[in-house]
Chain A
Amino acid sequence: MPHLELSGISQSFRRADGSLHRVLAECSLAIERGEFVSIVGPSGSGKTTLFNVIAGLAAPQSGTVAIGGVPVDGPSARVAYMLQKDLLMPWRTTLENVTLGLEIRGVPVREARRRGGELLERYGLAGSEGLYPGALSGGMRQRAALIRTMVLEPEIVLLDEPFSALDYQTRLMLEADVRRIIHERGCTAILVTHDIDEAVSISDRVVVLGGKPASVKLDVQIELTVEGTHTPATAREAPEFRRYHKAIWEQLEVTLPGAA
């Protein structure tokens, strides 16, 4: 049984002028446990809509979402997500931000602090427990947001362009961390992005959304021959990288200005 199964998801919105805007049409997707899948598509292709449906933040107008065979009807403790905005609360220290979710779920403060502190230390934020987000760099903030997500021990992690606001070096570093941490914890991950390089270098599989309304246009397993450890940097050096990149690029129907 797939870990996450979307079948026949359709979604549309009423525009301000009353006309109907169809975003997703009959989207189906099955994701296995432990898979790292990227969903790529041009802006407005319904990536975020799909994301919200999987997260249980929006109910699809038709179709079903099931996690481990159980239909999803609202935010689930088995799913956690991370966005482009780190959404750290400026009045909470790094540790307090990380333990926010545990606090809400009623985990005793001591226990929450212990678990949060452990992850902060393990994932390179030792020493910043007591700092407020204002004192952290963009990369550190996003790392704290990742730990806030992981400390909830989700089965499925949804990532909505979490790297897009970072500079290139920080981005590569954080991509490597996210990939490693998610594999280490045995989570299933879905990354929404418009960056093909990122998708190919980090994922086991890339799904391209396209068309209006959007549906799955390409679903490709990524198998890269990487020398040494697989990191987003080494993955980009793999001989197959360009081929995947090209295949995905062609599906995006990018019309460049000036091209007829």
Chain B
Amino acid sequence: MTTDAKRLRAALPRQAVTGSPWLRHAAVPAVQVTIAAVVIALWQFGADAHLVNGQLFGTPAGIVAAARRTFADGSMAVDTTATVYETVTGFVLGTLLGSVAGLMLWYSRFVARVVEPAAVAFNAVPKIALGPLIIIWLGAGTESKIVLAFVSTLVVAFLAAYGATREVDADLVTLLRSIGASRWQIFRKLLLPSAMPFMFAAMRINVGFALVGAVVGEFISSQRGVGHAVFVAGNLFDLNTVWLGILELSTVAAIMYALLARCERLLVKGRT
């Protein structure tokens, strides 16, 4: 926002925003929780009153029971740990390798022009279609899931980092050169920080992609993982356990987003 717009807003009468500060901050989450509670209550009531087919849709009480059961027998811990491990490892490897490769292309326009069309084409391939291949090559263990999460995130991170190198202000590069900066100094002091917001945008997308990669890998062939649990439960028409798996995956995604947002606040400075 420009300073003019800020000044204008500061000059506007205060009553434009109503209510006490507490109410303003609490209102949104309060409404969200209320809506969720009402939906869950209606769902349970509907199932109890046989208005909703609990067998086909599951029930909140059934989901709670499934959570208690899987928690007690330890399978919840085993499955979520496996999925988190696969997702995070694939995400970190894909993001790191993709970003580093994308940024390196700044050093060579020639290599960039050779690689770019291939990267764009590969980006358009739904990576989960590679699942069967990867499982045949690497087996049904964790490695194949990690590799699926990895290939799902790699190209997004790569293209984002590469795109960021092209957005760098050419006048700033000239300014640094005129001060006598080496190529490595330009990379560290200009390229890396200015690419940071682009790379974080890619990471936000990649949290979802990494999870899809890991879970689909588990669907295809696995002994554990939330995807495995969901797949097995789905075949048994155990919809409550399926819902539970979905909730677990959402929680994992939410935690990853939160961690990412925290990293972004630490690393990306001066953005208003």
Q: Measuring CB to CB, which residues of chain A are less than 8 angstroms from any residue of chain B? A: 55-57, 75, 77, 79-81, 83, 85, 87, 89-93, 100-101, 103-105, 132-135, 137, 152
Inter-chain CA distance A93–B269, complex, in Å, is: 9
A92 touches which of B176, B181, B270 (Cβ 8 Å): B270
**Per-position 1/0 for B248-272, Cβ under 8 A of A:** 0000000000000000000011111
Q: For chain B residues 133-189, which have a beta carbon within 8 Å of chain A?
A: 169, 171-172, 174-181, 185, 189
Q: Given A104-B185, A105-B179, A132-B269, do A89 and B171 touch, yes or no (CB 8 Å)?
A: no
Question: Which residues of A lie under 8 Å from residue B194 when comparing CB positions?
Answer: 89, 91
What number of A-B contacts does a CB cutoff of 8 Å give? 65
**Per-position 1/0 for B105-138, Cβ under 8 A of A:** 0000000000000000000000000000000000
Inter-chain CA distance A77–B180, complex, in Å, is: 7
Question: Which residues of B lie under 8 Å from residue A100 when comparing CB positions?
Answer: 176, 179, 189
Question: B172–A133 contact, CB under 8 A?
Answer: no
A-B contact pairs, 11 of them (CB 8 A): A75-B180, A87-B169, A89-B189, A90-B271, A100-B189, A105-B180, A132-B270, A132-B272, A133-B270, A135-B3, A135-B272
Question: Which residues of A lie under 8 Å from residue B270 when comparing CB positions?
Answer: 89-93, 132-134
> Interface centre among A75, A77, A80, A83, by most B CB within 10 Å?
A75
Of all chain B residues, the one with the shortest Cβ separation from A131 is B270
Question: Which residues of B lie under 8 Å from residue A87 when comparing CB positions?
Answer: 169, 171-172, 175
A18 to chain B, nearest CB (A): 22
B79 to chain A, nearest CB (A): 40
Q: Given A91-B269, A133-B270, do A104 and B178 touch, yes or no (CB 8 Å)?
A: no
Question: Which residues of B lie under 8 Å from residue A93 when comparing CB positions?
Answer: 270
* Residue B46 lies at the interface, judged by CB distance under 8 Å to chain A: no
Question: Which residues of A lie under 8 Å from residue B190 when comparing CB positions?
Answer: 89
* Residue B93 lies at the interface, judged by CB distance under 8 Å to chain A: no
Inter-chain CA distance A105–B172, complex, in Å, is: 16
Question: A103–B178 contact, CB under 8 A?
Answer: no
* Residue B193 lies at the interface, judged by CB distance under 8 Å to chain A: yes
B103 to chain A, nearest CB (A): 16
Question: A104–B271 contact, CB under 8 A?
Answer: no
B189 to chain A, nearest CB (A): 7
Question: Which residues of A lie under 8 Å from residue B47 when comparing CB positions?
Answer: none
Q: Measuring CB to CB, which residues of chain B are less than 8 angstroms from any residue of chain A? A: 3, 169, 171-172, 174-181, 185, 189-190, 193-194, 196, 268-272
A23 to chain B, nearest CB (A): 18
B196 touches which of A91, A92, A133, A152 (Cβ 8 Å): A91
Q: Given A89-B193, A91-B194, A91-B268, do A104 and B174 touch, yes or no (CB 8 Å)?
A: no
A104 touches which of B169, B171, B172, B189 (Cβ 8 Å): B189
B179 touches which of A89, A91, A133, A152 (Cβ 8 Å): A152
Question: B193–A91 contact, CB under 8 A?
Answer: yes
B188 to chain A, nearest CB (A): 10
> Interface centre among B175, B189, B269, by most A CB within 10 Å?
B175
Question: Which residues of A lie under 8 Å from residue B179 when comparing CB positions?
Answer: 75, 80, 100-101, 104-105, 152
B178 touches which of A81, A92, A135 (Cβ 8 Å): A81
The 7 closest A-B pairs by CB, nearest first: A132-B270, A75-B178, A101-B179, A91-B269, A134-B272, A91-B270, A104-B181
Q: Given A103-B189, A137-B3, do A75 and B177 touch, yes or no (CB 8 Å)?
A: yes
Inter-chain CA distance A178–B147, complex, in Å, is: 58
A155 to chain B, nearest CB (A): 14
Inter-chain CA distance A126–B179, complex, in Å, is: 25
Question: Which residues of A lie under 8 Å from residue B176 when comparing CB positions?
Answer: 100, 104
Of all chain A residues, the one with the shortest Cβ separation from B182 is A104
Question: Which residues of B lie under 8 Å from residue A105 when comparing CB positions?
Answer: 179-180
B171 touches which of A85, A92, A134 (Cβ 8 Å): A85
Inter-chain CA distance A103–B196, complex, in Å, is: 21
A67 to chain B, nearest CB (A): 14
B151 to chain A, nearest CB (A): 31
Question: Which residues of B lie under 8 Å from residue A80 when comparing CB positions?
Answer: 178-179
Inter-chain CA distance A26–B269, complex, in Å, is: 48
Question: A83–B171 contact, CB under 8 A?
Answer: yes
Question: Which residues of A lie under 8 Å from residue B185 when comparing CB positions?
Answer: 104
B33 to chain A, nearest CB (A): 35
Inter-chain CA distance A152–B175, complex, in Å, is: 13
Inter-chain CA distance A93–B171, complex, in Å, is: 19
Of all chain B residues, the one with the shortest Cβ separation from A81 is B178
